[in-house]
Amino acid sequence: MDIKIFETSEQLDNYAAELYVNLIASKPNAVLGLATGSTPIGIYDKLIESYQNKKVSFRDVTTYNLDEYIGLTPDNDQSYAYFMNKQLFSHIDIPKEQTHLPNGNAADVEAECRRYDALIAHNPADIQLLGLGNNGHIGFNEPDDKLTFGTHIVELQEETRQANARFFSSLDDVPTRAVTMGVGSIMKAKTILLVVRGSAKSAIVKEALTGPITTKVPASLLQTHQQVIVLLDREAGRMLG
């Protein structure tokens, strides 16, 4: 694992954006695995800036997002589809049909999971961006006795719903289920870019990166991947040696 700790969040964002700009310069049709949550927003802002400054074009890029809530339509402002359009896609030149998210509003969500898996099996990500849940989840792969390989339906843990309630008008509005890429699909990416900010996550960062590999901390499985880059701000990295 290549762990980098930055003095400021902006330095982290610049570093991450440069990684993407360099990747796309060498491979214009790169496949990007993308994430939601507050963590990637600064990186997306820098990518938009790079696009506006003509340093990068996303014309031939394909993207696959990690997850989506079940039961929200894409035009619901709490859906991850809406989030991605607002925070990134609508500001860059990526054709809409090259952006993918699981459809959490499909009539048959199980079939949707299989459809999404088939898509990502043929298009493994060159780089998969990941945030980290407070409980160590990646995507929506929650801590459990066992983890699932492919795209599947998850019951969100109360802790996760509470953590994400800040984006909704009330806790009751937070969906109880989601569709997420499985840990196996995530691990197929050539490079994984784990980004974590803030002191509230410093203990789980330490556990995930240096503790035992366990399904109780899904992010700990990243220790078995051969190409992981971890970007932390000073607060998130404060408990590391």
Ligand X SMILES: N[C@@H]1[C@@H](O)[C@H](O)[C@@H](COP(=O)(O)O)O[C@@H]1O
Catalytic center residues: 67, 135, 137, 142
Distance separating alpha carbons of residues 7 and 124, to the nearest angstrom: 32
Closest to ligand X by CB, 133 or 182: 133
Record the tokens describing residue 124, joined without a space: 């493994």
Touching ligand X, residues 144-173 (CB under 6 A): 160, 164
Question: Could you give phi then psi for residue 195, rounded to 5 degrees?
Answer: -120, 130
Name every residue whose Cβ is closer than 8 Å to that of residue 30 and which is 6 or more positions away in sequence: 23, 24, 61, 62, 126, 127
Longest dimension (CA), the chain: 49
β-pair type (62-65, 99-100): parallel
List 102, 104, 136, 139, residue binding ligand X (CB under 6 A): 139
List 39, 141, 151, 202, residue binding ligand X (CB under 6 A): 39
Which one of 18-26, 85-93, 112-120, 126-134 is the stretch in contact with ligand X (CB under 6 A)?
126-134
Distance separating alpha carbons of residues 227 and 126, to the nearest angstrom: 11
Spatial strand order in the sheet of 191-196: 2-6, 228-233, 191-196, 127-130, 31-34, 62-65, 99-100
Residue 36 in contact with ligand X, rule: CB under 6 A: yes
List 88, 140, 186, 189, residue binding ligand X (CB under 6 A): 140
> What is the total count of residues that contact ligand X (CB under 6 A)?
14
Distances (CA, A) of 217 to 140, 182, 183: 12, 14, 12
Closest to ligand X by CB, 56 or 156: 156
Closest separation in Å from C-beta 66 to ligand X: 5
Touching ligand X, residues 175-234 (CB under 6 A): none
Which one of 19-27, 34-42, 98-106, 144-152 is the stretch in contact with ligand X (CB under 6 A)?
34-42
Closest to ligand X by CB, 56 or 81: 81
Distance separating alpha carbons of residues 42 and 186, to the nearest angstrom: 22
Cα 31 from chain centre: 14
Which one of 29-37, 92-100, 121-129, 227-235 is the stretch in contact with ligand X (CB under 6 A)?
29-37
List 12, 30, 56, 66, residue binding ligand X (CB under 6 A): 66
Binding region for ligand X (CB under 6 A): 35-39, 66-67, 131-133, 139-140, 160, 164
